[in-house]
Amino acid sequence: MRTTIRTLEKYKHEHRPITCLTAYDASFARLLDAADIDVILVGDSLGMVVQGHDTTLPVTIEQMIYHLEAVARGARRALLMADLPFLGDRDAATAVEQGGALMRAGAQMIKVECRGGHADLVQRMVGAGIPVCAHLGLTPQAVHQYGGYRVQGRGVVAAEQMQAEARALEVAGAQCLLLESVPELLATRITHAAGVPVIGIGASPECDGQVLVLQDVIGLTPKPPRFAQDFLAGAGSLAAAVAAYADAVRSRRFPVSGVHTFD
């Protein structure tokens, strides 16, 4: 049976951690599906891990669709989430058009990087029938505004701002939130306050779900980020590595507070 947004809502209420990994092709989608991963994210991280760029900025909507279609052919069970690429949020009409194209290519939910002032855009997408996951915290498409991949939401003012933004996005109709590289305490607060599932990466073990970039989980990233873990080391096979990740997330052995999280 296909995982839906209702499955994720149920897991949040049952305190059953949601498992999510990225995939960019049919082979890995099949592998993740076989390991019972709940959500497969076709992330624009493909610009870095597949295309070899330093950032996600060069990824186009055509490339997103190409990879999403390949993933959709490999996955039968997982909920498919896809990223709105850089500048797909330049106005609401473009966001609806590109989000709609990704839905037609098989996505069940579109993830939008929200750097502030995105509630109206999210409302327009939701109004058009596009389910939205609002990505807060470190939004990698803004890397050059940050001057690097840096933790977001540190300090009282920034933390309060992110909490208010999370609320506004939920009110605007976002059915899921994703927090990347934010202080653990802030991620925990946002998760507990949210009525919708909150998926974390470099966030908090208390998040309703966890996501990692697939390459970081299978030892393919030369300098993996602090919040990642190589599950292939010691697992023996790709299938065992993905199963070990899923098991660690579901039993709340990953992420480890203070090891994979930020103060």
The residues that are catalytic are 180
8 A C-beta contact, residue 195 and residue 170: yes
Contact 181, 150 (CB under 8 A): yes
Q: Is 44 annotated as a binding residue?
A: yes
Site string for ligand KIV, 53-92 (x = CB under 6 A): ------------------------------x---------
**Does 83 participate in binding Na ion (rule CB under 5 A)?**
yes
- Which amino acid, 120? D
Which of ligand KIV, Na ion, none does residue 82 bind to, with CB < 5 to 8 Å depending on kind?
none
Task: Say if CB 40 and CB 79 are below 8 A apart.
Answer: yes
What type of residue is 162? M
Q: How far is CA 235 from CA 72, 231, 232, in A?
A: 27, 7, 5
- Comparing CB distances to ligand KIV, the nearer of 140 and 173 is 140
- Site membership for ligand KIV, residue 213 (CB under 6 A): yes
Site string for ligand KIV, 161-180 (x = CB under 6 A): -----------------x-x
Candidates 3, 19, 22, 98; binder of ligand KIV (CB under 6 A) is: 22
Q: Does 141 bind ligand KIV (CB under 6 A)?
A: no
**Contact residue for Na ion among 29, 33, 40, 43 (CB under 5 A):** 43
Is 113 flagged in the annotation as binding?
A: yes
Choose one: 25-33, 40-48, 87-95, 186-194; the region binding ligand KIV (CB under 6 A): 40-48
Distance CA 83, CA 99 (A): 8
Least Å distance, CB 226 to Na ion, is 18
Which positions ≥6 away from 80 have C-beta within 8 Å? 39, 40, 42, 68, 71, 72, 106, 107, 108, 109
Q: Is 110 within 8 Å of 70 (Cβ atoms)?
A: no
Residues in binding site: 44-45, 83, 111, 113
